Amino acid sequence: MRIIRDPRAWKETLRDQRKKTVSIGFVPTMGALHRGHMSLIERSIEENDVTAVSIFLNPTQFNNADDLKNYPSTFEEDCRLLEAIGVELLFTPTYDDIYADGFTYQVNETELTGRFCGAARPGHFTGVLTIVLKLLILTAADRAYFGEKDWQQYRLIDGMAKSLFLDTQIIPCELIREESGLALSSRNALLSLAQRKIAPYFHQIISSGITIDQMEQLLVEHGFRVDYIEEWEDRLLAAVFLGEVRLIDNVRIS
């Protein structure tokens, strides 16, 4: 596995790969890889000749400095996992490499970003869309893979790619859960042992079919602080806090 830090070198490397291969798949991550990330990478490997991955903890999508500071980092283990699974290329840029402009150029969406997670985290999706656009331009992959856990994020990225006529196809991948039903997330590593026992109730309650008011009441009784639970299109989207850890999930509405 080649590890490349410089954006120009990354772009040139992918350009060279394009001359040799039929298709390139790309999985952008912020590190602290888990089985959910690996499922995206496995699908990319199955569907493409070359799979590229990025690890970049993107500060511009954090509206809370403590959240950024506490985000788990397991870079050496991440590299071992990626190499073992067969990833050919890993991109690990620095902030100054990615934001040489000081984040003065930004990507803004004017409707969906103001709802759900965007309402509670102002500026979050501007940071997400900006970094994803940069990575998609640099990589120029045929397909990029995103998990369905953050359904709002997937829809925004897919909409951006189509609106800006990007050549990369945005591929949604099934949400991966622990046996308890808890959606896999790097943030789960921040939960205490006591919180780990409570956390699975989140999915159990929002998938129970009761009213949203009843869901909120049950979640509070179990120790959660509810950010939002809302129906949107064919999904029920939800976000809660367990202590200081923010968890998100969604379920299809039957």
Q: Tens of pLDDT along 128-179?
A: 999 999 999 999 999 999 999 999 999 999 999 999 999 999 999 999 999 9
Q: Which residues in the chain are classed under CATH 3.30.1300.10? A: 186-249
The mean of the pLDDT values for the chain is: 97
37 a catalytic residue: yes
Q: Does domain 2-173 have CATH number 3.40.50.620?
A: yes
Query: What pLDDT score was predicted for residue 21?
Result: 81
pLDDT value of residue 143 = 98
Task: Out of 34, 37, 124, 203, pick the active-site residue.
Answer: 37
What pLDDT shows up at residue 126?
98
d(CA 84, CA 63) in angstroms, rounded, equals 34
> What pLDDT does 185 receive?
95
Question: Rounded mean pLDDT of 88-107?
Answer: 98
Kindly state the percentage of the chain with pLDDT values over 90.
Answer: 96
pLDDT of residue 207: 97
Contact between residue 52 and residue 141 where contact means Cβ atoms under 8 Å apart = yes
Residue limits of CATH 3.40.50.620 in the chain: 2-173
pLDDT in tens, 203-228: 999 999 999 999 999 999 999 999 99
- pLDDT-derived band of residue 242, with 50, 70 and 90 as boundaries? very high
Contact, 14 vs 138, CB < 8 A? yes
> With contact defined as beta carbons under 8 Å apart, do 13 and 138 qualify?
no
- Whole-model pTM above 0.85? yes
What superfamily in CATH does domain 186-249 come from?
Answer: Pantoate-beta-alanine ligase, C-terminal domain (3.30.1300.10)
The per-residue pLDDT for range 51-94, each reduced to its tens digit, is: 999 999 999 999 899 999 999 999 999 999 999 999 999 999 99
Spatial separation of the C-alpha atoms in residues 127 and 142, rounded to whole Å:
23
- The answer to whether the beta carbons of residues 131 and 56 sit under 8 Å apart is yes
Give the pLDDT confidence score for residue 131 in this predicted structure.
98
pLDDT of residue 111: 96
Instruction: Give the pLDDT of residue 254.
Output: 77
